[in-house]
Amino acid sequence: MRLLLQVLVASFVVGVLLSWLDIDPVRLLSGAWNAVINAPEAVFGALAGLIPYILTGAVVVVPIVAISTVLKLMQRKNRRQIPPPPPQQP
C-alpha cells in the first residue's frame, strides 16, 4: 500500500512538472520510441567513424604484437631445452 501511495505522489509531481514545462506525454513517448529506433543507426555511424583510426593504429600495433609474441614463444622453447642443473650432493 505504501509503494502505491509513493507511485501516485511521484506521478502527480512529475505530471505537474511536465505540464508546467508544456511537455506532452504523447510527444515524450514518441521521441523516446524514435530514439530507440534510431539508436542502431547512430551506433553503427559512430563505429564507422572509428574504423579508419583502428586501421591506422593496426599498421603499427599488429607488427609489434606479432614480434613480441614470437620472441616470447622462442624464450619458452629455449627454457624447455635447457636441462635443469643436477642436484648438489653435500
For the stretch 11-65, pLDDT in tens is 999 999 999 999 888 988 999 999 999 999 988 888 888 999 999 999 999 999 9
Q: Angle at Cα 74 formed by Cα 70 and Cα 77, nearest 5°?
A: 140
Give the pLDDT of residue 10: 96
Taking only Cα atoms into account, the Rg of the chain, rounded to an integer number of angstroms, comes to 32
Please give the grid coordinates belonging to residue 2. Answer: 505504501
Using CA atoms, how far apart are residues 10 and 12, in angstroms rounded to an integer?
A: 5
The answer to whether 25 and 16 have CB atoms below 8 angstroms apart is: no
Q: State the pLDDT confidence band at 87, using cuts at 50, 70 and 90.
A: confident
Query: Side-chain half-sphere of 34: how many Cα atoms within 13 Å?
Result: 6
Say if pTM beats, i.e. exceeds, 0.85. Answer: no
